[in-house]
Amino acid sequence: MIQGDYVIETSVGFWVGTAYYGFKQWSDGVPQRKRTVSLTSLTTLMAIYELATVPQTSIFRIEQGLDDAMVIHSRFDSTGAYLQFNLPCWLRYALLLAPKAKILSAQLIGYGNWNRIDVVERGPLQIQHSDEDDALEFVVDPGRPVSGPIVEWLVPAPWWKGIEYSADVTSIIQDFVNRLGYKEANHIALKLLAVGPIDAQQFISYEQDPTKACRLEVIWELPVGVHVLKVQSAPITGVPVKVDGINIGDTSITKTYAEGE
């Protein structure tokens, strides 16, 4: 049974050909987030039941030069050594997040490119994602539409070269993974647009230093009730193993259980 964030008691059965083998795992009085169980009959069958509400941290980076760009004269420019905030800036990431994952925190982090001690005009920058389920590289069409929540980031002042700066984009990432067309590893494109007077503060770009290009740091959980079962060895070679009637071979399956099931 799933109760809140914990496994209380769970029964799982495996089919080997026409024979059914069942076993039960339980919390023996102490709620557990992970439990390993095994079954021996004709041979050994081992499964891991992992509760999916354990928070995970993922870091997503710019992977190539075409994944960060400024818009200059109505065209993408992905060749520069920096991203300058008084121009529209774009960032693209492949998100290895489950559809409808619960986003606990998402930070967009970049390195300052030069010192601006006398900064007065600070923005803000508006940050949104493009209206795409899987964003294209920044080659054509800088006028692509945006959608979803708007984050307004007041650019810090003064601005220092080599210092990390971050903006909270939790609501944006949550909105993106909730899209009906989103699949794991789809690309998100983030647009940074100054909506007030702003000096020429800059982030280091991929072209200048790939290790200091802007990154996303996301803390997330799988959707409530989604759990992973992994079969580490099939009982009989060539005979499909089933979990709840679904053939899974000797790899893995993701199955959804409602709370209390």
User: What residue spans define the domains of the chain?
Assistant: 2-53+224-256, 56-221
What is the per-residue pLDDT across 173-184, written as a single tens digit (0 to 9) for each? 999 999 999 998
- The residue among 181 and 246 whose pLDDT is bigger is 181
Residue 224 pLDDT grade (very low, low, confident, very high; cuts 50, 70, 90): low
Please tell me the number of Cα atoms within 13 Å of 8 on its side-chain side: 8
Distance CA 120, CA 142 (A): 29
pLDDT at 2 over 70: no
Residue 222 pLDDT grade (very low, low, confident, very high; cuts 50, 70, 90): confident
pLDDT score recorded for residue 116: 83
- The residue among 118 and 9 whose pLDDT is bigger is 118
- As a dihedral over the C-alpha atoms of residue 168, residue 173, residue 178, residue 184, rounded to 10 degrees, the angle is -150
Q: Are 216 and 173 in contact (CB under 8 A)?
A: yes
pLDDT at 46 over 60: no
pLDDT at 94 over 50: yes
Residue 189 pLDDT grade (very low, low, confident, very high; cuts 50, 70, 90): very high
Amino acid 111 reads Y
pTM: 0.70
Q: Are 173 and 101 in contact (CB under 8 A)?
A: no
Distance CA 22, CA 34 (A): 19
Distance CA 176, CA 108 (A): 15
Q: Are 85 and 123 in contact (CB under 8 A)?
A: yes
CA geometry: angle at 92 spanning 104 and 139, to 5°? Answer: 165
Nearest partner of 90 among 54, 130, 117, judged by Cα: 130
What string of DSSP letters covers 72-123?
Answer: ETTEEE--SSEEETTS-EEEEEE----TT-EEEEEEEEEEB-S-BTT---B-
pLDDT score recorded for residue 121: 60
Residue 9 pLDDT grade (very low, low, confident, very high; cuts 50, 70, 90): very low
- The residue among 6 and 135 whose pLDDT is bigger is 135
pLDDT score recorded for residue 229: 43
Residue 163 pLDDT grade (very low, low, confident, very high; cuts 50, 70, 90): very high
Average predicted confidence (pLDDT) for the chain: 74
SS3 content of the chain, % helix, strand, coil (to 5): 5, 50, 45
Pick the CATH number of 56-221 from 3.40.1000, 2.30.42, 3.40.50, 2.60.120: 2.60.120
Residue 160 pLDDT grade (very low, low, confident, very high; cuts 50, 70, 90): very high
Q: Are 53 and 45 in contact (CB under 8 A)?
A: no
pLDDT at 37 over 50: no
Minimum mean pLDDT range among 44-48, 110-114, 214-218: 44-48
First to last CA, the chain: 5
